[in-house]
Amino acid sequence: MPGPWGFLLLLQGGLLLLGASGMLLLGFPLGGQAPWTEIPTGLLLLWLLAGLEGLFRHFFPASFQEAERLHRELGRSLKAMGLGPPALLLLALLSGVAEEVFFRGFLQSLLALSLGAFAVLLQALLFAFLHPAPRKAFAYTLYTGAAGLLFGLAYLLTGSLIPGILAHVLHNARGFYEVWRG
């Protein structure tokens, strides 16, 4: 698995392994107390992400267009590697689960032990910094930080990673499909 595809799989697999191991060792929960609310909460979170994306597209049009251009380049690269929708769905699933488990389940929970609710903001900043973009596409990193804040608040309020995982996977799947279709 050399190249960018292998790197993405190793990165996401590493985040998942590290986050899940940390959660297990420290006894952090995966699910909340009210499982019947997790799917509607995840769908609400997905709707909020779409609204957030619309706001960023409106307030930072040039930066957002540059980010979309970079995403189209990514889509062309993925196609050139022979990757299609099934592989992208796998990547959306792996990245959504891995990033929620690592950033919210492990990192936010660990930081909350000493920082309380401030941990939500700190994990969102780290989430944004690990989604860098060139200066012309700065809105992408800001958007990712705001999305990380929404994911973190959802985890804080529900005590469950399930809503964030659902919203994250669906958001990434839509995004990967759009850049692939490009």
pLDDT band for position 105 (cuts 50, 70, 90): very high
pLDDT band for position 45 (cuts 50, 70, 90): very high
Measured CA distances, 127 to 24, 76, 83, 123, 141 (Å): 21, 25, 26, 6, 9
Please tell me the pTM assigned to this model: 0.93
pLDDT band for position 33 (cuts 50, 70, 90): low
Q: What is the mean pLDDT of residues 6-14?
A: 89
pLDDT band for position 2 (cuts 50, 70, 90): low
Is 60 exceeded by the pLDDT of residue 28? yes
Label residues 8-17 b or e (16+ Cβ within 10 Å = b).
Answer: ebeebeebbe
Q: What is the mean pLDDT of residues 80-91?
A: 87
How is the chain split into domains, by residue range? Answer: 38-181
User: Which of 20-34, 66-80, 130-144 reaches the highest mean pLDDT?
Assistant: 130-144
Is 80 exceeded by the pLDDT of residue 3? no
Mean pLDDT of all residues in the chain? 92
- In single-letter form, the type of residue at position 37 comes to T
pLDDT at residue number 1: 47
Q: Which has the closest alpha carbon to 157: 28, 48, 41, 36? A: 41
Q: What is the 3-state secondary structure (H, E, C) of the chain?
A: CCHHHHHHHHHHHHHHHHHHHHHHHHCCCCCCCCHHHHHHHHHHHHHHHHHHHHHHHHHCHHHHHHHHHHHHHHHHHHHHCCCCHHHHHHHHHHHHHHHHHHHHHHHHHHHHHHHCCHHHHHHHHHHHHCCCCCHHHHHHHHHHHHHHHHHHHHHHHHCCCHHHHHHHHHHHHHHHHHHHHC
pLDDT digits (tens, 9 = 90+) for 112-170: 999 999 999 999 999 999 999 999 999 999 999 999 999 999 999 999 999 999 999 99
